Structures are given as structure tokens and as C-alpha cells.
Structure 1
Amino acid sequence: MDDDKPNRRRTHDLTSGPIPRTLLLFALPVLGSNVLQSLNGSINAVWVGRFLGEAALTATSNANLVLFLILGTVFGIGMAATTLVAQSVGARDLPEAKRIVGTSATFFFLVSVVFAVCGWIWVDAILTGLGTPADALPLARSYLRIIFVAVPMMNLLSFVMTVLRGAGDSRTPFFFMALAVVLDVVLNPLLIRGIGPFPELGIAGSATSTLIGQTVSVIAILIVLYVRKHPLRLAGADLALLRPDPALLRIVVFKGIPMGLQMIVISAAALTVMGIVNSYGSQVAAAYGIAAQLWTYIQMPAQAIGAAVSSMAAQNVGAGRWDRIGKVAASGVGFNLVLTGALVALLLLIILIISVLIIRTGFAYSVRSVIGQEALWWSFPAGSIASLVLAAAYYRFGRWRTTHMIEG
């Protein structure tokens, strides 16, 4: 009985208390994590641009878009698992939550390894297909190959953090994201220039610092969770849960594919636009990479609130507290609600296809003959306005309130 009390405290309850305050306190660490990630990319871009020049900055811009596509393909599985975990926690069914964690973690990691191996093998074909400028191609190859090695650790860290958020804990992920970012930012210049005892690795040093930061952080967070005896940790007999349950895996994959397709749509659009950008040469490509980095800051509040609403709503669905769902949605100001079911993900996918793949990419491609490279910059607000209009229409008229992730 003594162990149950701390366990209950560490699976944070999002089904009671004042909704606006609970949502805000949960969302702030998520926002902080997003800010840290973007600052990490921005600072690393400064190091690469300052020490290695425009071609290297173009190389990282191209490589990061490929990485984003890879992360997007497994994003849906992580989100589906997180939603299922949150619903199980809300229903006070921790054994079911552990089953979901075990099956999802194994599948998630194995898929990540497959992507890493395939990416390493076909890195040249990927970059050539993207139209990477010739002067940036060798640099992009060196950078991306190390990033592919880091993909399993990056995905595992992301999975652990999203599961913790599903359990109602957004602060622990923030601290370990901070650890990964600090290590990455500090090691970047040391490994690029070979300062002190560190080897001079050039652009490969930037990727190596990311690999080290992600690996150390994921090992550290797992150690802390086991030392604290977190209720969702898998130990002893629970390690058998790492063998995927076929029935549960089908649910996770079926629910996760539409969510993952959302990220794939965004990535495909970004890669298409990057192909257009690359045709202008390394200077414009480097500038576009910086602009794309800055654009992520604009999206952060919506992403943080959306993640908080998703976890909070899922726990309330699991607890059968449908009376709170509308209030949660109102407090979240309608930001891209992913409450329950694959239907919501599919409808949001349609919104993304229209706003990102059709409008943003189409705008950049069709108008560039009129206003040149300025079309690239104006495509961002054009796609965002379309997404806002479509999302608002779905929230007002859609049937998302009638769907469920877990039946019963």
C-alpha cells in the first residue's frame, strides 16, 4: 500500500480541478520544451553558419527536413499510444496502460531502427532526389548519416516524453529536453572546431553533438523513472509486456496511421518547397532554412496548447468525464483538438492536405514566376490562414464528440 500512494501522485490527475488552471500549468512545460527544441536548432544554425558557411547551413536545412519526414512517419504511433495511455490513466487502469507502453515502445523502437538503417544506406539517393545543391551535397551526406544513427535514440526519447505527458506529467519531459539541448548546444562549437581536447569534425561535429545529447538524455530519463519507481515503468514480470500484443498493436497502428499521415503531409510539402528553394542555390536555401526555423516559434503556443488539450481530454474520456470535454476545448481556444478516434485525425489530415500541401506548396510554385523567391515567404501565411479557417469550420460543424479511442 505504501508504494501505491507515490504511484498515484506521479500519474497526475487531469480529470478534476479547475480546467483553465490545470490546462495552463500542464501546457507551460510543453511550451518550454518546444521553445528549447527550436532554440537548439537556431543556435546550432548560428554555429554552423558562422564556422562553416552557407553551403553547410544549406546542408543542415536539407538534412533536417529529411529527419522531420522520418520522425513524422512514426509520430502517429507515438500519439496514438499516448492517447491510449492517457485514457487508461484516466480510467485508473494502470495494468492496461503498461500493456500499451510495452507493445508501443518495442514497435516504435524497431521501426526507428529500420528507418535509420535504410536512411544510412540510401542517403545519397535521398539528397539527390531533394535536389540538394552540389556544393552542399557532401556536407549534407556527412551530417545526415550521423543523424540517422541518432534517430532511434531521438524517437525513444520522444516516445518516453509523450507517454509521460499522457500520464499527466509535462514537467519531467521538460527537464530532460533541457538536458539534451544544453549538451547539444555546448558540444556543437567544440566538435565543429575541435576546441580543447575535442576532435575537429566539421559539420559532422554538429550532428555528433545531437547524437550525444539525445542518447545521454534518454538514458538519464529512463534511469530516473526506474529509480523513482514510476508506475508505468516495466520491471520484473512486466518486462514480458515488451513483447508486442498483436491485437493491441493493431489498435495502436490503426489509430496512429492517420495521425502520422498529418506529419507526412507537412513533411512532403516542406520537401517539395525545399526542392524549389534548392533550385535558387545555396544562398537562398540557407536563408529559407533560417526563415523556416523562425516560423516554428510562431506555431509554438498552438502546439503546446494542442498537446495539453489532447492529454487532458483523453484522460477525461477514459474517466467518462464527458461533461468536462467541452470546457477543455473552450479553454484550449480550439487549437487542433485531437480528442479521440481516427476520424478526427483523418479530418485534420484533410485540412493539412489543403492548407499545407495544396495551398502553401501550390502558392509557392505558381506565384514564383510572378514575384520570384518572395513567393516562398508568402506561402507560409497563406497556408496558415487556410488551415485556421478549415480547423474552425471542423470544430464548429464536425462530429468529433461522438468518436472514441477505446471502446467499452
Structure 2
Amino acid sequence: MTAEHNVKDLTVGNIPKQLWSLAWPMMLSMFFYTLYSIVDTFWVSKLSTEAIAAVSISQITLYVMIALSMGIAVGSGVVMAMSIGAKNKPEAERILGQSFVLAAISGLFFTVVSLIFKKQLLIASGAGGDIFAPALEYFTVTSAGSILFFFLMNVMFAFNSEGDTFTLTKLFAVSTLVNVVLDPIMIFGRWGFPALGISGAAYATLISQVVFLVLGIVVLSGKKRNIRFSFKNLSFKWSSVKQILKIGIPASLTQVINPIGLAALIFITSQTFLEAGAIAFSLVFRVEFFAFLPAAGFGFAAMAMIGQSMGAGKLERAQAVFKKAIVLGFLSASGFGVLSILFGGYIVGIFTTDAQVMNYSLLYLWIVAGTYGFLAAAMIEASVFQAMGRSWPGFWIFFTKFMFISLPLGYVLTSVFKFDIWAMWTAIALSNVVVAVFGYLWSRKTVKTKKTVEVLV
């Protein structure tokens, strides 16, 4: 991981080939990242059902933290990509350093707030009864190390901006392996190490993130790298921070609106269709992660390629990347949607044997899976806006999806007119199609008119 590395020039070359070469390592990286929680859940499940619920509830607040950290990382990553495209190495390195300064400030703030108000946050998330004590134990450890998420995301987007996503995948693979090994040791106690119970899972995750961060900084600081991390760029510079925040704040809000919107949809569904409806929604949401993994990968790839192209003043190439990324994302998610419709029974059967939950879940897949391609397109459209330095349109795409379409329409159809659960699923499917078309028209116009933020190049 310390071999000589020259930043990939993403302003030239075959576009589909470059999109794929950047996207597949990002897909693997995101898969490894999700293994943190999957591995934690697997081992914690051997403690008790309360422990599983405690981890799930604790992660609700942590999702907000991840959203905030990703917003800052997106902002720095986009400005870095533009600077790289403009061949301005000093500015790219300065932005990299400033992203760490901003991560330290925001991460420390979140850590302090979450520790001070940890009980209130857990109660607001639904922790109570036998779940509260283990949730508090897990959340306390995770919150204490939450600043690591902010640094981790910066490292992730720094590699993406340079087009070095394969190194990123190797870092995630190593840190995930550390988590897999440490989880049973720290939870149950092995080889003389004391059993820490549910907090052991949190400690294992934090240690694996420290490993990722240390290795990532070592690689980024390597003398043979073109764009290097340097401590001399850690002095606060408002002009650079302002650029990051101009993109990062709305990018954070875009990330936050998704879990909030999904939580609201689950709540409305549970009020009308009780526990079976809520469980079905949560179940298919986990299945959908794999459907949108390729789209997320193509979105990150497009962000780096368009960012560099805009920085280099190559508007036509940015337009071509935009179109091809949309097509690839649409086709990949649509393909998974077809598989979900054809083999939905087998997929759902892996997670539940409850007849009502299975019926609700299958109905969801039959109605919504056909629109996976549209939602994937909307995700990539949001990434395109961010790559051009304009993150607010991406926020409005998903705000429209939840607040103007799926939530009000789903509520009216199921709670007011008393239609069956198919109406809620239809509202979600309709929102996917509408925002994809809306986002495509808006983003296409923006790419053509070259509306970007000012970048110091």
C-alpha cells in the first residue's frame, strides 16, 4: 500500500471503463464497511435479544453522525477533485489538510454532545425497559470514539478523488478483518482477555477503525504519492473550510433526510399495519442495500470524474460521464429489481418465516423493485450535483421524495382512505419514478450551463 502512486487523470480515457474501474472497488469498500455492523450483530445476538435491540437503537443516532461526517468528506472530496483536474497540487493538498481540521472540530463537537445527552438521545430513539442498560453501555463506548468516523470518511473520499479506490478497498478489508477477529475475543473473553459483553463489540469496531485511519494516513503521507497528507496543511484556513462547507452542509442534510424519511415511513406503516408492516419494511430495506450498492459505486466514481473534468474545464466530458453513469446505475439496479421480483420468495424466506411479514414483503418487492433503477438514477443525480459543487439540488431531490410524495401520499391512502398496504408501497414506487425524472431534468440542465462553485485553482 506504500508503492508509488500517481493520481489518476480522470479527464481523459474511456468513460465506461473508468467508471467501472473506480466503482467496483468502492462497492467492495462499502460492503466491507457494512460488515462492521453485520459482524457486531452476529456476535451480539449470542448474548441476548435485548442486546441486539440495544445495538440497533444505538445506531439510530449514529446514523446522523455518519451523515454529518460524510457531508464534510463529500465537500472536501469534490474540491480536491476539482483542484486535481486543474493541476493545482498545492490546493488539493491544502484541502486534504483542511478536511482533517474540520473533521476534528465537528467530530469533537458531536462526541461531547452525544456523551452529555446520551441518555436523552437513547430514550428519544426508543430505548427503554431491559434494552436501556445495554444500549447505554454500547452507545457510550461508540460515542466516545465517534470522532473516528469523521476522519475515516475524509480518508475514504480523499482516495476516491484521486481515483485510487483500490487502495481504499484494501484498507477496508484489513480493518474489517481486525473487527471480525476482535469481536468474539472482546465480547466473550478469549485467551486471557476479559469478557466485555456488548461494549466489547463497540471496542472492537473502534479499534478496527483506528487501524483503518492509521494505515490510511500513512499511505496518504507516503513520499511517493502525488497528492500527500502533510501536517503543515493543518493550520486553519477559512477560505478553504468555507468551500468545503458550501458543498458539505447540504450534502450532510441530504444524508440525514434519508434515515429520517425511512423512519417516518416505517412509523406510519406500523400505525396502520402494526408490527408485521414495520418488520416487512425493515426487512426489505436490508435487501435493498445490495440493489443500490452498484449505483452508489457509480455515483462515487462519477463524483470524482466529473469533479476533475469540471476543474479541468472539460464540460463535454462531464456531460458524457453524467449520462453514462446514469445508464449504468439504472441498469444495475433494474437488474437487481428483476431478480427480486423473480426470486422474492427465496430472498424473504432467508430472513423470516412469519406468513404476514412474508406477504407484505413480497408485495413490496413486486410493486417497488421495478422502480429500483429510477431510485438509483436519483442517487447518481445527487452525486452529479455534488461533483459540480452544488449540493442543495441533491437535498431537494430526496426531500421531495419523502416530504412531498411518499409520506403524505402513503399516509392519506392508508390512514385516511384505509387502503391496504399495497397503497403505501405504491406511494414509495411512485416517488422513486417522479424524483428520478425531476432530478434528471434538473441535473442535465445544470451540467449544460456549467453552474459550479468557485474553486481556488
Q: TM-score interval w.r.t. the shorter chain?
A: 0.7 to 0.9
Residue-by-residue CA offset, 1:104-135 (whole Å, 9 max, x unaligned): 21112221111011101111111112223433
For residues 118-161 of structure 1, the C-alpha deviation after alignment (integer angstroms, 9 at most, x for no partner) is 10111111111222343322222111111112211122121012
* Aligned equivalents of 1:192, 1:378: Cα separation in 2: 43
Output aligned runs, 1:202-351, within 5 Å. 202-235=197-230, 239-273=231-265, 291-333=284-326, 335-336=380-381, 337-339=383-385, 344-351=390-397
Aligned equivalents of 2:102, 2:448: Cα separation in 1: 28
**Secondary structure of 1:391 counterpart:** helix
Aligned position for 1:3: none
Assess, with a 3 A threshold, how the Cα gap between structure 1 residues 130 and 272 changes in structure 2: closer, same or farther. farther
Residues 86, 314 of structure 1: 8 Å contact kept: yes
Greater CA drift, 206-215 or 397-406: 397-406
Residue 254 of structure 1, CA deviation? 1.9
Q: Which residue of 1 aligns with 2:133?
A: 138
Distance 1:48 1:360 in 2: 34
Q: Which sits farther off after the overlay, 377-386 or 397-406?
A: 377-386
SS of residue matched to 2:175: helix
* Higher RCO (C-alpha 8 Å, min separation 6): 1
Q: How many pairs were matched up?
A: 398
Counterpart of 2:170, as a letter, is: F
Specify which of 63, 66, 70 is matched with residue 61 of structure 2.
Answer: 66
Q: How many angstroms apart in 2 are the aligned matches of 1:124 and 1:103?
A: 33
- Name the residue aligned to 2:400: 354
1:257-308 superposed Cα distances (whole Å, 9 cap, x missing partner): 1111101211322444566689899999787655543332222111110000
Equivalent position of 1:394 in the other structure: 442
Deviations 1:337-356 (A, max 9, x none): 42557874212211111213
Tell me, yes or no, if structure 1 residue 26 matches structure 2 residue 19. Answer: no
Unaligned runs of 5+ in 1: 1-5
User: Residue 92 of structure 1: CA displacement?
Assistant: 1.1
Provide the residue aligned with 1:194 in structure 2. 189
Alpha-carbon contact 2:257-2:398 (below 8 Å) kept: yes
Contact 1:176–1:221, Cα closer than 8 Å, also in 2? yes
Q: Equivalent residue of 1:92, what SS?
A: coil
Supply the AA of the counterpart residue of 1:319.
A
- Asked whether the 8 Å contact 2:389–2:453 carries over to 1, the reply is no
Corresponding residue SS for 1:175: helix
Task: Summarize the Cα distance change of 1:136–1:361 in structure 2 as closer, same or farther, 3 Å threshold.
Answer: farther
Deviations 1:10-38 (A, max 9, x none): 21111111111111111110111112222
- Structure 2 spans left out of the alignment, 5+ residues: 327-376
SS for the counterpart of 1:136 is helix
Instruction: Look up the equivalent residue of 1:112 and give its one-letter code.
Output: G
SS at structure 2 position matched to 1:161 = helix
Retained in 2: the 8 A contact 1:356–1:383? yes
Identity value in percent: 24
- Equivalent residue, structure 2, for 1:103: 98
Question: Is this contact kept in 1: 2:309–2:315, CA < 8 A?
Answer: yes
In structure 2, do the counterparts of structure 1 residues 375 and 40 end up closer, same or farther at CA, with 3 Å as the change threshold? Answer: farther
> What do you get for the CA RMSD once the two structures are aligned?
3.1
| Counterpart mapping for 1:362-377 below 5 A | 362=408, 370=418
Q: Distance in 1 between matches of 2:264 and 2:203?
A: 27
Partner SS, residue 146 of structure 2: helix
Higher alpha-carbon deviation: 383-392 or 248-257? 383-392
After superposition, the Cα gap between the structure-2 partners of 1:399 and 1:233, relative to the gap in structure 1 and judged at 3 Å, is closer
Alpha carbons of structure 1 residues 325 and 160: separation in structure 2 relative to 1, 3 Å? same
Pair 159,341 (structure 1): closer, same or farther in 2 beyond 3 Å? closer
Post-superposition Cα deviations, 1:73-94, rounded to whole Å, max 9, x if no partner, equal 2322211111111111111110
Cα offset for 1:224? 2.9
**3-state SS of paired residue (1:52):** coil
Change (3 A) 1:33 1:95: same
Contact 1:340 1:400 in 2 (8 A): no
Q: Is the CA contact 1:120–1:148 (under 8 Å) kept in the aligned structure 2?
A: yes
Distance in 1 of aligned mates of 2:423 and 2:172:
35
> Residues of 1 paired with 2:47 and 2:284: CA distance?
19
